[in-house]
């Protein structure tokens, strides 16, 4: 399993940026939600390519004969 990290960057002007790494799909949003709620309104969200990859499970269905 990959390392998951959440980095909070605060600029000199007070702008806050939350960077999440090692998460896939909506796991990232779930992991950072509490920070977004505590820090206030979100001005912009950018989803990384990892967001569009499937998290952990894959469901498969086979048709019987």
Q: What is the pLDDT of residues 12-22, one digit of tens each?
A: 988 888 888 88
- Mean pLDDT, to the nearest integer, of 22-49? 81
Asked whether residue 59 carries a pLDDT value surpassing 60, the answer given is no
DSSP string, 26-54: THHHHHHHHHHHHH---S-----GGGGSP
Report percent pLDDT > 70 for the chain.
68
Asked whether residue 36 carries a pLDDT value surpassing 80, the answer given is yes
Predicted pLDDT of residue 11: 86
């Amino acid at each position: 399993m990959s390392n998951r990290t959440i980095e909070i960057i605060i600029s000199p002007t007070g702008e806050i940026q939350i960077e999440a790494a090692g998460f896939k799909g909506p796991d990232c949003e779930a992991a950072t939600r509490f920070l977004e709620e505590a820090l206030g309104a979100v001005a912009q969200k950018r989803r990384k390519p990892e967001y569009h990859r499937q998290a952990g499970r894959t469901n498969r269905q086979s048709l019987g004969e």
